């Protein structure tokens, strides 16, 4: 588990790059650090793996404070942390096999152990037939798969991905993300993903933190962030702040997983209560293997309490964004 408490980091000129960061990343999470360029994402990643220091606060890896580790302890931590970068960082004059084997050679493993591990990893990433090939003959997606295999050679507990798919086309990016998710499920490894692409977050991450100017602007499960749609998310998505007219009535947001039971939820509300309402926005989004519907409806003041009572026993999350009678918000 990774615990970050009150973390602060300054540049040498006194500019604050990370300000009061508080996060908990559980074992087995696929956790996204999201934000625009300069938000502090990569700097936070470097603080976590010990490549960058920090001025105050704490980072605990499995209960141990990073800045208090001895050189020997830090070396062991780095051995158990894999890193995948945007530019692949492969040695062009070495074969795929030699690139993947490099970390184990540096740590003095026997050729027999190296051969078995590299063979297994190339099989895992779907490149068993490319062992003797040099990187220049590979596509971008294949190069990233080699980089992932190399990052896994030391059997890390933590895999750090810094914009690993941002240079890839959408289809290739999706296949690499699927591979990371499969590795997470198979090995239980914790994955931290630095990205500015919300599609990456939707596809594989279970939790996320949105950084703005070195501060946490939003944090929580991916589904909860997309349900609540904080302003930080809207800015990342390029959405304008929603404004409702008085004629829209009470604005209720309803979120639910799309299943056989909930597929016709909105129609069921209208039919069962014999009411009509305005559909003001929303839609269905896909998160990993789940489909989540989020809709905003305009309900008359007369029907407000009846709709609330109807939703009490439904498998959904709802709250009023605006009411005619009050600004009271209800979340279940």
Q: Provide the pLDDT for residue 288.
A: 75
Count how many domains the chain has. 2
Q: Provide the pLDDT for residue 313.
A: 83
In a domain, 332, yes or no: no
Q: Provide the pLDDT for residue 249.
A: 82
Residues 6+ apart with CB under 8 A from 201: 32, 34, 193, 195, 208, 222
Query: Residues 226, 286: one domain?
Result: no
β-bridge pairing 56-61 and 2-10: antiparallel
> Of the candidates 216, 235, 254, which is a domain's last residue?
235
β-bridge pairing 30-34 and 190-195: parallel
Please give the C-alpha separations between residue 160 and each of 22, 32, 83, 84, 180, in angstroms, as whole numbers.
18, 10, 5, 6, 11
Nearest to 221 by CA among 169, 257, 178, 268: 257
In a domain, 240, yes or no: no
- Any idea which residue has 């039919």 for tokens? 271
Query: Residues 211, 256: one domain?
Result: no
Nearest to 209 by CA among 190, 230, 188: 230
Q: Which CATH number is 212's domain given?
A: 3.40.50.300
Q: What number is the average pLDDT over the span 62-69?
A: 90
Q: Provide the pLDDT for residue 135.
A: 94
318 phi, psi to nearest 5 deg: -145, 155
pLDDT band at 259 (very low <50, low <70, confident <90, very high): confident
Query: Residues 253, 201: one domain?
Result: no
Q: Provide the pLDDT for residue 241.
A: 64
Query: Residues 219, 305: one domain?
Result: no
Token pair belonging to 89: 């960082």
In a domain, 117, yes or no: yes
Query: Residues 176, 307: one domain?
Result: no
Question: Which range, of 3-7, 8-12, 225-229, averages the lowest pLDDT?
Answer: 225-229
pLDDT band at 326 (very low <50, low <70, confident <90, very high): very low
Query: Residues 168, 267: one domain?
Result: no
Q: Which CATH number is 271's domain given?
A: 3.30.70.260
How far apart are alpha carbons 234 and 281 in whole angstroms? 14
Q: What number is the average pLDDT over the span 180-190?
A: 94
Question: Which range, of 44-58, 92-106, 153-167, 252-266, averages the lowest pLDDT?
Answer: 252-266
In a domain, 42, yes or no: yes
pLDDT band at 240 (very low <50, low <70, confident <90, very high): low
Q: Is pLDDT at 60 greater than 70 in this prediction?
A: yes
Tell me the CB-side half-sphere exposure of residue 304, using CA atoms within 13 A. Answer: 21
Token pair belonging to 257: 């997983």
Query: Residues 273, 317: one domain?
Result: yes
Query: Residues 205, 263: one domain?
Result: no
Higher pLDDT, 111 or 316: 111
DSSP 206: S
Q: What number is the average pLDDT over the span 29-46?
A: 94
Query: Residues 140, 268: one domain?
Result: no
How far apart are alpha carbons 115 and 5 in whole angstroms? 41
In a domain, 177, yes or no: yes
How far apart are alpha carbons 238 and 91 in whole angstroms? 38
Question: Which range, of 137-141, 211-215, 255-259, averages the lowest pLDDT?
Answer: 255-259
> Of the candidates 177, 210, 235, which is a domain's last residue?
235
Q: What number is the average pLDDT over the span 8-36?
A: 95
Q: Provide the pLDDT for residue 324.
A: 56
pTM: 0.85
pLDDT band at 330 (very low <50, low <70, confident <90, very high): very low
In a domain, 331, yes or no: no
Q: What number is the average pLDDT over the span 239-263?
A: 80
Query: Residues 10, 146: one domain?
Result: yes
Q: Is pLDDT at 331 greater than 70 in this prediction?
A: no
pLDDT band at 242 (very low <50, low <70, confident <90, very high): low
Alpha helices in the chain (DSSP H): 41-48, 71-79, 96-106, 111-124, 140-151, 170-187, 198-204, 222-228, 231-237, 265-273, 304-311
Query: Residues 196, 153: one domain?
Result: yes
Token pair belonging to 331: 């979340």
Q: Provide the pLDDT for residue 282.
A: 86
Q: Give the pLDDT confidence of 291-302 residue by residue, as tens digits.
A: 889 899 999 989
What residues make up the domain containing 268? 246-326
- Which among 37-46, 232-241, 260-269 has the top mean pLDDT? 37-46
Question: Which range, of 57-71, 173-187, 268-282, 313-327, averages the lowest pLDDT?
Answer: 313-327
In a domain, 281, yes or no: yes
In a domain, 241, yes or no: no
Q: Provide the pLDDT for residue 83.
A: 92
Query: Residues 231, 261: one domain?
Result: no
Higher pLDDT, 22 or 331: 22
Share of the chain above pLDDT 90, in %: 63
Q: What number is the average pLDDT over the span 67-73?
A: 90
> Of the candidates 235, 260, 281, which is a domain's last residue?
235
Q: Mean pLDDT over all residues of the chain?
A: 90
pLDDT band at 5 (very low <50, low <70, confident <90, very high): very high
């Amino acid at each position: 588990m990774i615990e970050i408490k009150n973390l602060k980091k300054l540049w040498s000129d006194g500019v604050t790059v990370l300000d009061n960061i508080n996060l908990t990343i559980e074992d087995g999470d696929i956790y996204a650090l999201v934000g625009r360029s300069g938000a502090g994402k990569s700097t936070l990643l470097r603080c976590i793996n010990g490549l960058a220091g920090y001025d105050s606060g704490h980072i605990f890896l499995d209960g141990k404070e990073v800045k208090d580790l001895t050189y020997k302890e830090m070396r062991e931590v780095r051995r158990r942390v894999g890193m995948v970068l945007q530019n692949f960082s492969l040695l062009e004059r070495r074969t795929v096999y030699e690139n993947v084997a490099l970390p184990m050679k540096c740590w003095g493993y026997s050729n027999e152990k190296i051969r078995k591990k590299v063979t297994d990893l190339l099989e895992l990433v779907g490149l068993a037939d490319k062992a003797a090939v040099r990187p220049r003959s590979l596509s971008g997606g294949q190069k990233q798969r080699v980089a992932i295999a190399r990052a896994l050679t030391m059997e890390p507990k933590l895999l750090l991905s810094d914009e690993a798919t941002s240079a890839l086309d959408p289809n290739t990016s999706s296949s690499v993300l699927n591979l990371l998710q499969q590795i997470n499920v198979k090995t239980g490894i914790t994955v931290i993903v630095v990205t500015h692409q919300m599609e990456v977050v939707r596809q594989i991450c279970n939790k996320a933190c949105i950084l703005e100017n070195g501060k946490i602007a939003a944090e929580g499960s991916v589904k909860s962030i997309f349900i609540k749609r904080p302003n930080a998310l809207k800015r990342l998505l390029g959405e304008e702040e929603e404004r409702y007219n008085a004629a829209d009535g009470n604005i209720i947001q309803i979120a639910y997983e799309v299943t056989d039971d909930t597929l016709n939820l909105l129609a069921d509300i209208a039919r069962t209560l014999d009411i009509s309402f305005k559909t003001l926005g929303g839609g269905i989004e896909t998160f990993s293997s789940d489909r989540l519907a989020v809709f905003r409806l305009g309900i008359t003041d007369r029907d407000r309490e009846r709709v609330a009572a109807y939703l009490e026993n439904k498998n959904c999350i709802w709250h009023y964004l605006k009411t005619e009678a009050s600004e009271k918000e209800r979340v279940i």
